[in-house]
Amino acid sequence: MDLDASEIVGDDRIKEECAVIGVIGDSEAANYCYLGLFAMQHRGQEGAGIVSTDGSAMYAHRDMGLVADVFDEAAIARLPGYCAVGHTRYATFGTKDWQNLQPLVANFADNSFAIAHNGNLINANEIRHQLEADGAIFSATTDTEVVLHLVARAVKQKTIAEKVAAGLKDVRGAYSLVVTTYNRMIAIRDPAGVRPLSLGKLGNGYIVASETCAFDLVGATFIREIEPGEILEITKDGEMNSTFLPKLENTAFCVFEYIYFARPDSQLEGKNVYSVRKALGAELAKEHPADADLVIPVPDSGVPSSIGYAQEAGLPMEFGLIRNHYVGRTFIEPKQSIRDFGVRVKLNANPGVFEGKRVVVVDDSIVRGTTCRKLVKMLRGAGAKEIHFRISSPPTVGSCHYGIDTPSKDELVASKYQLDEILEYIGADSLGYLSIEGVYRAVGEERKSYCDACFSSEYRLGLPQQCERPAHVRSNRPKSKAK
């Protein structure tokens, strides 16, 4: 099977992975946002931004790069005020398009509005065309800008929460939003609750963030999650008011947050992500045992499930693969050539661990298949006698349209090939994926309140409309060869 001959089919969707944060009621609001974004850097490494307000003006600092590089003391000092919202972003396309960096800011007739968005809107293009036909001007290509326009146009509504509710009425897709105006912060989660968003207490004020690991760093206490469909307003004085968008019969929280995306020390739906990942590994060991001497995790994402696998199987676990922490996550490097290079420099086989051994190698997912193919070669070179690859999620067969940057369907090895073909491609002795039922046993919940489209191709919120975009919006990404 010659996978190298397959072509990446360019698609011009803007796919974003992000973290959002907001702090209100503290004169160090921007500084706390900076720290929280730093804790959530794994959710987006391409750009970061913070917008603060002191009630009379909005102050913004946004740039391409990692949080620690984008901000220095001087930049944070230029973000005064009692409220700040922040964002980290990764998008496959438009790497250099600075205008897409968030939070986006707009001036309305009587207020200003800064917005940070995690997720993807599936009918943003359509709404944008309608607005443009009506004379609206857009300065960015991100789907979030349509929300600004829709809220600004809700002129009949009096309060900002009413405007937000009216503006979001026709928006479909995934959105966890944090907004600040001159006098309040608003946290919003789409009615399906696809992306996480939590509320915490921070000194005399409040904090909202995509993940609770941000609370730990700033010393905030977790209060609760923002509910699906909730519009939560918090004033400077700490007054809170919740209203709700129309309820859905079933919510659709992203199960991939548990499998890969969230940090293991975060809490989602009251569950510790690390514990869920261990349970995923234990289920994997039950479904796909192997006659082996050792269990080896693929760091970092495969470590918790590997521990669970080893404990369940009663096998010793060894750190047979050592990671160089100064290389970014291979998958998120924008260029294919850099990604391939990254696999080699990122992980190295620890000498002496593999010689003559039958090993179970555990990772969280196979996307293109390049990582495990290279690992198998490396481990054979290091003397492994048998290699049994085990994956703590089902085959990844569909792209995410709700805010995770999965490559297009054509690049996903499991969307084109059967298990035996994938096994042949990666060159291991056996391959086992966790079943979808196994995933929900580990999560301890019923499947009906989750989105698992990347494993099932069931897009519960629908697919983005295939509508023609104007030439200036389209990415001109060249077709390239998949590896």
Residues belonging to the active site? 18
Q: Which is nearer to Mg ion, 123 or 301 (CB)?
A: 301
Residue 403 DSSP one-character state? S
Please list every residue from 371 through 400 that binds ligand 5GP, using CB under 6 A: 371
Q: How far is the CB of 408 from Mg ion (least distance, A)?
A: 19
Please list every residue from 241 through 280 that binds ligand 5GP, using CB under 6 A: 260
DSSP conformation letters of 88-129 = EEEESS-TT-GGG-SSEEEE-SS-EEEEEEES-BSSHHHHHH
Backbone angles phi, psi at 39, to 5 degrees: -70, -20
Interatomic CA distance for residues 178 and 144, integer angstroms: 12
Q: Which is nearer to ligand 5GP, 233 or 364 (CB)?
A: 364
Neighbour-count burial of 342, counting CB atoms closer than 10 A to its CB (0-12 exposed, 13-18 middle, 19+ buried): buried
368 interacts with ligand 5GP by CB under 6 A: yes
Please list every residue from 315 through 354 that binds ligand 5GP, using CB under 6 A: 329, 331-332
Q: Which is nearer to ligand 5GP, 329 or 447 (CB)?
A: 329
Q: Contacting ligand 5GP (CB under 6 A), which of 366, 379, 384, 414? A: 366
Query: CA quadruple 201, 203, 205, 211: dihedral positive or negative?
Result: negative
Neighbour count for residue 403 (Cβ, 10 Å):
25
User: Can you read off the two tokens belonging to residue 470?
Assistant: 């104007």
Contacts of 130 (CB under 8 A, 6+ apart): none
The SS3 assignment for 434 reads coil
Residue 260 DSSP one-character state? I
Chain-centroid distance, C-alpha 325: 20
Interatomic CA distance for residues 333 and 45, integer angstroms: 9
Query: Which of ligand 5GP, Mg ion, none does residue 260 bind to, with CB < 5 to 8 Å depending on kind?
Result: ligand 5GP
Q: Which is nearer to ligand 5GP, 369 or 432 (CB)?
A: 369
Query: Which of ligand 5GP, Mg ion, none does residue 205 bind to, with CB < 5 to 8 Å depending on kind?
Result: none
Q: Contacting ligand 5GP (CB under 6 A), which of 19, 124, 208, 298? A: 298
Of all helices (H) and strands (E), which one includes residue 235?
Answer: strand 230-235
Backbone angles phi, psi at 386, to 5 degrees: -140, 145
Interatomic CA distance for residues 397 and 408, integer angstroms: 10
Interatomic CA distance for residues 37 and 52, integer angstroms: 14
Interatomic CA distance for residues 164 and 152, integer angstroms: 9
| Interaction mask 432-451, Mg ion, x per CB under 5 A | --------------------
Query: Which of Mg ion, ligand 5GP, none does residue 370 bind to, with CB < 5 to 8 Å depending on kind?
Result: ligand 5GP
Query: Which of ligand 5GP, Mg ion, none does residue 404 bind to, with CB < 5 to 8 Å depending on kind?
Result: ligand 5GP
Please list every residue from 146 through 205 that binds ligand 5GP, using CB under 6 A: none
Using the rule CB under 5 A, give the single segment among 159-167, 286-294, 299-307, 401-409 that binds Mg ion. Answer: 299-307
Contacts of 354 (CB under 8 A, 6+ apart): 320, 379, 382, 383, 384
Q: How many residues bind ligand 5GP (CB under 6 A)?
A: 18
Of all helices (H) and strands (E), which one includes residue 215?
Answer: helix 213-218
Contacts of 363 (CB under 8 A, 6+ apart): 297, 298, 301, 302, 371, 372, 389, 390, 391, 392
User: Can you read off the two tokens belonging to residue 105?
Assistant: 């800011």
Q: Contacting ligand 5GP (CB under 6 A), which of 131, 322, 367, 378? A: 367
314 residue type, one letter: G
439 interacts with ligand 5GP by CB under 6 A: no
Query: Which of ligand 5GP, Mg ion, none does residue 329 bind to, with CB < 5 to 8 Å depending on kind?
Result: ligand 5GP
Q: Which is nearer to Mg ion, 45 or 301 (CB)?
A: 301
Q: Contacting ligand 5GP (CB under 6 A), which of 23, 379, 382, 404? A: 404
Using the rule CB under 6 A, give the single segment among 22-30, 213-221, 402-410, 427-435 that binds ligand 5GP. Answer: 402-410
Contact yes or no for 381/410 (Cβ under 8 A) = no
Q: How far is the CB of 247 from ligand 5GP (least distance, A)?
A: 29
Q: Which is nearer to ligand 5GP, 197 or 426 (CB)?
A: 426
Interatomic CA distance for residues 448 and 364, integer angstroms: 22
Q: Contacting Mg ion (CB under 5 A), which of 301, 370, 393, 399? A: 301
370 interacts with Mg ion by CB under 5 A: no
Q: How far is the CB of 136 from ligand 5GP (least distance, A)?
A: 32
Contact yes or no for 397/356 (Cβ under 8 A) = no
Q: How far is the CB of 467 from ligand 5GP (least distance, A)?
A: 26
Q: Which is nearer to ligand 5GP, 140 or 391 (CB)?
A: 391
Q: How far is the CB of 300 from ligand 5GP (least distance, A)?
A: 8
* Chain residues that interact with Mg ion, rule: CB under 5 A: 301
* Chain residues that interact with ligand 5GP, rule: CB under 6 A: 260, 298, 301, 329, 331-332, 363-371, 404-406
